[in-house]
Chain A
Amino acid sequence: MFNFRTLELSLTISEDNRLFNLFRKLINKYISQIILLFLVFLSTFSFLIYYQNGLGLSYNDARSHLDIGRRVVEGLKPGLAQLGSVWLPLPHFLMIPTVWNDFMWHSGLSGAIQSMASFVATGAIVYMFLKKIGVSVLGRIIGVLIFALNLNILYLQSTAMTELLLIATMTAGVYFLMLWSKDEKITNLIFSAFFVMLSTLVRYDGWFLLAFAGLLIIIETFRKRGYKVTEGTIVLFGTLAGLGVVLWFLWNLAIFGDPLYFIYGPYSAHAQQTQLEEAGVLVTKGDILLSIKIYIYALLYNSNAFIAIMGAIGAFVFFIDKKIKTVVKIASTALLAPLAFNILALYLGHSVLFIQGLSGDTWFNVRYGVMLLPTFAIFIGYLVYKLAHLRYVLIGLTAFVLFFSFVNQDAVTIDDARVGSSQKNVSEVSGWLRSYAQGEGFILISAASHDAIIFSSGHPMKKFIHEGTGLYWDHATTAPDRWARWIVMRTNDTNDSTFKLISQTKAYKEGWYALVDSYPFADIYELKPEYSKNLNTKPVLGKQK
């Protein structure tokens, strides 16, 4: 209604107005569902954006993850053994139901779909976490938005990377741990153990959480119940939460004959770190201050400095708030586990992270800094709730900062994927394979070195002979002229296992292969026609064990 005298536009709604009541009821009752829908929409929209501009597959690791999943269902030697030991198996295992489809594989959706689901789940957990510690609806919504409107998160959830799955499982583990500490219901402890177990099968960050959460459970139970109950509780938690770790050891023993193969194997992170150390670029090893500095930078670049500062203030307010039970505070410290883990990993030399301008002129693995975003989201949601009047200033400034991050597309993970060391632009070499390696015959290539080429070539996995193809690999690296029409390798680089083995063969030494093209990441050789009379072009070896 418009009042001409006072120039006022007024809207008066009676409390018994059906439409108004329906709206209010909808908001009050279905706010969680509305947020869930919003997260689903945001997730899908972001995936489409990054799918269309091709950035979704920029990470070299994303393509490798997709290839590992694909090898389980398709290739010269498909099977679960293809899950390998380089990375923990859960992300690839979750790809199995979809990665057989060429579109799901080559669009990256097979890997992204679990990241997207994890994104939605984490948003929901942030909301629930805040609800359970008594934060108002506004605080909960702000918490979810802090998490969901982070460009780095939106980008990573659109890729086949493992960060979102790890974040979701870890946050869920901490959420149920917090619930258990609050109400002491054993089901919450079991749920916590289940999610911690899942996280241990995603990345080694989860292993640290397992230890950290175990320690917190010991402290909490011992404080309240003494030794006996503590013993029972930790056994219950540890049995389920530690199952993934035990299975992983067994897996390595069963497949590779060594339970510690994932640590000391030729493609392990340890082997990579050793190479980096020899090259003198593992600068954080043994330097705790530098490790802290590098990780804090990664953290601030991923979360935005303003958000991180607000999150830190929120954490401070949370931990000094007398209204929050001590047990809840103790359990909530698990939210900080990624911070401790990443600093420790850098210090011990188990992890490598480059910040442009701080450690050379490139980015590498900067995405590790995104791990604390749900933590910040929870603490900022809490801060908004506690700040009373100042909350509007905080909300306004946060919106302001987010506006600029979106306008300028300021995402450090995209830079890492596009121009940092985490990218690998193999379009030239894979383009050649796509165009000229169309005829019958296999391509001999090292998956450990050139998974991105395999992925980007567009060929089916069964066209490639790689380390995981058993007898094909053994035969092809001994007598390549019988098995490989094309060879893709880095000439004179013994880190490339194809070159390392092929260079010893007669076919290579006597020039039976012609170098057809050279590219920054690999050279392509083709068997000369005069030597191709014995060449196998069919997978004649049948099913291998």
Chain B
Amino acid sequence: MAYGRKHQKINMKKTFVKLFITILIIIFSISALTFSIKGAGSNPLSYQTKKDTRVGGPFEASNSSARYALTESIVKNKSLFLNEKLAKFSSPDVVEYKGKYLSIFTPGISFIGVPFYMIGDFFGIPQLSAYYSNIIFAVINIILIAFIVKRLNQNFYAGLLAGFVFAFATNAFPYALTYTQHILSTTIILLAIITALGKRSAFKNILFGGLFGLGVLVDFPNAFLMLPIGIYILSNHITKESLKEKISLKIKLSILTVLIGIIPFAGVFGWYNYQTTGSFTKIAQSIGRSDAFSQNLPPHVSASVPEAIVEKKESGFSLPFRTRAQLNGFYILLVSNERSWIFYSPIILLGIWGFWILYKKNNKKNFAVLSAGIILMDIVLYSMFGDPWGGWAFGPRYLIPAAAILSIGIGELVNSYKKNIFFFILFIGLFVYSVSVTTLGALTTVSIPPKVEALNLPSHIPYTYEYNIQLLNTGFSGSLFYNLYFESIINAKTYTLIIAGAIITMGILLYMLAIFQKNMVASPSTESSQKTSRLFKILRSKNQEDKENV
């Protein structure tokens, strides 16, 4: 009895410490992102009313400004169409249809930004507030990754570290400061993975359906990225049993509840399309870009091109995912110094190793396979895309969801090799490099030209993060806080070093905590490990079924 009470006390203490560390990480992450948020110091605050598309600002790329324009149009003009001023601001990501202008993108990000914009507008900072929505999702992603890793190996701090690595050592960091789809898409995919784990229920199915619908509303290719999860969930509704002299195939029709979740978002999407194009199914991307304002655009804006999911053709349209583009796509995304992880965040490659460990463990095999499906789908999908660079961008921006999932592998790897000194050196080395590069992007610009364009510019711009270093060396910083408060005290380079240093320190601290975290799989007495055991029992039984099927 006394032993039980003592044990309970220890558990409570542990929970309290974990909660404290989690809150600390949340506060730290929000602060690091806030200190990096884009803006310029002036009175009134820059970018809040003026539509300035200069390099390093929040509107430097049209994939942010076109989405922001729609948010502003909804709030200010009560319209889903863009007036001429906003259309010009959104160009080239603007569509002209029946004499009216609309954003080329699916409206999810713009819709979600509306309440943030309204709150910000009240205080005179609508842009800052709207962009803050992305920061919130970036922090949520850290927690979601930590949650999944904890479910896998019980090492809570390794999970937090994995989430932290994703948030600050990949290009998710600079893109958390934009108004683009990447961060929210990642949140949705991570949530969908969580709904896919464990025993199926109608509620989980509805939730997955909702996430799927929301995902499509945020960015159309999310439908493809979530396809492996959908197939995995479907497979969980089918059971094959070999009884004595009988073979039984059972399909749980509760799978249909997924549709309940999809319908509201499909309705919103259909309504948006109907309002803008007059058809429930005609999407802006099928109409094609307007070139009404494309002349005299600055190169970084005019070239921040295609996210269109359909291409205009002489007759009809075709999907822009071309198998012939794969060779270039694989090269750009996986090997080149223009965009690949090797050059921008090599630490993420450790995740492959982590997933190999997961794959080798029988009870985690299914999770590893599901994750591999999503990661490879992301890579294969965008390797076929005509513009794997993502226009003028920083790192492989289309692979941000894949990076999030690979981070889960890092969590597993850290848990497995946390006390190995050589691994520690490798991890820290890659972490320091990756954080340094991504901080550069976050504090300067995410608009780096593809090589082919950089070489043809009248004035030469490097096509790697060397461009960010160049900008920093000229004393440029895109950080609002630096420009507001610190410019007169320290130079931009020092400010960047401080931010990067703080992130690296926090990362090392989390690594240390991960070392001291006891592996709790061995003591299944606690509530959380009991939950985990249940989860893996289900995964294990699924695994055995698969084996039988094979």
Contact = CB atoms under 8 A, between A and B. Distances in A.
Q: Do A and B bind each other?
A: yes
Interface of A: 2, 6-16, 20, 297, 300-301, 304-306, 309, 388-390, 392-393, 396-397, 400-401, 404-405, 407-408, 410, 412
A408 B319 contact: yes
A309 B245 contact: no
B359 A401 contact: no
B247 interface: yes
B365 interface: yes
Interface stretch (B166-174, B372-380, B527-535): B372-380
Contacts of A8: 250-253
B100 interface: no
A236 to B, nearest CB: 42
B395 to A, nearest CB: 21
B329 to A, nearest CB: 8
Contact of A390 (B324, B372, B380): B372
Contacts of A16: 245
B228 A396 contact: yes
B254 interface: yes
B352 interface: no
A389 B361 CA distance: 12
A306 B326 contact: yes
Most buried by B among A11, A15, A408: A408
Given A12-B246, A393-B373, A309 B330 contact: yes
A407 B366 CA distance: 31
B323 interface: yes
A426 B384 CA distance: 35
Contacts of A390: 359, 369, 372
B424 interface: no
A371 to B, nearest CB: 18
B220 interface: no
B383 interface: yes
Contacts of A301: 324, 327
Contact of B324 (A7, A309, A400, A410): A410
Contacts of B369: 389-390, 392-393
Given A12-B247, A397-B376, A400-B381, 15 more contacts: A7-B252, A9-B250, A10-B249, A10-B251, A297-B327, A300-B326, A300-B327, A305-B327, A306-B380, A392-B369, A392-B373, A393-B228, A401-B326, A404-B323, A410-B323
Chain B interface, DSSP helix/strand/loop, else mixed: helix
A393 B249 contact: no
B109 to A, nearest CB: 26
B372 A393 contact: yes
B166 to A, nearest CB: 22
B193 to A, nearest CB: 15
Contacts of B373: 392-393, 396-397
A226 to B, nearest CB: 43
B252 A305 contact: no
B263 interface: no
Contacts of A404: 319, 321-323, 384
The 6 A-B residue pairs with the shortest CB-CB distance in the complex, in nearest-first order: A305-B326, A405-B323, A10-B250, A15-B245, A12-B248, A305-B327
B11 interface: no
Contact of A305 (B228, B249, B330, B368): B330
B209 to A, nearest CB: 16
Most buried by A among B253, B326, B377, B546: B326
Given A407-B319, A408-B318, A396 B248 contact: no
Contact of B246 (A9, A15, A400): A15
B318 A11 contact: no
Contacts of A410: 322-324
B292 interface: no
Contacts of B380: 306, 397, 400-401
A396 B231 contact: yes
B550 interface: yes
Nearest to A24: B247
Contacts of A14: 245-246
Contact of A6 (B252, B383, B543): B252
A2 B231 CA distance: 23
Nearest to B318: A408
Contacts of B550: 388
A397 B326 CA distance: 13
B377 A397 contact: yes
10 contacts: A6-B252, A7-B252, A8-B252, A12-B246, A15-B245, A16-B245, A20-B247, A389-B366, A393-B228, A408-B319
Interface string B323-358: 110110110000000000000000000000000000
A416 to B, nearest CB: 12
A305 B323 contact: yes
Interface in B288-338: 318-319, 321-324, 326-327, 329-330
A12 B261 CA distance: 31
Given A305-B383, A408-B319, A9 B330 contact: no
B382 to A, nearest CB: 12
Contacts of B252: 6-9
A153 to B, nearest CB: 14
B23 to A, nearest CB: 38
A385 to B, nearest CB: 10
Contacts of B224: 400
Contacts of B253: 2, 7-9
A392 B543 CA distance: 13
Nearest to A6: B252
Nearest to B224: A400
B145 to A, nearest CB: 21
A396 B373 CA distance: 8
Most buried by A among B227, B323, B377: B323
Contacts of B383: 305-306
Nearest to A391: B550
Contacts of A9: 250-253
Interface in B224-281: 224, 227-228, 231, 245-254
A6 B202 CA distance: 11
A300 to B, nearest CB: 5
A304 B318 contact: no
A23 to B, nearest CB: 12
Contacts of B365: 389
B247 A412 contact: no
Interface in B502-550: 543, 546, 550
A297 B331 CA distance: 12
A150 to B, nearest CB: 10
A395 B546 CA distance: 16
B384 to A, nearest CB: 6
Contacts of A2: 253
A73 to B, nearest CB: 40
Contacts of B376: 393, 397
Contacts of B245: 14-16
Contacts of A388: 550
Contacts of A20: 247
Nearest to A20: B247
A199 to B, nearest CB: 29
A40 to B, nearest CB: 26
B318 to A, nearest CB: 5
A420 B191 CA distance: 48
A389 B327 contact: no
A16 B372 CA distance: 40
Contact of A407 (B246, B318, B324, B359): B318
Contacts of A407: 318-319
Contacts of A401: 323, 326, 380, 384
Contacts of A12: 246-249
Most buried by B among A9, A392, A393: A393
Contacts of B377: 396-397, 400
A373 to B, nearest CB: 14
A305 B325 CA distance: 9
Contacts of A396: 227-228, 231, 373, 377
A55 B241 CA distance: 50
A297 B325 CA distance: 11
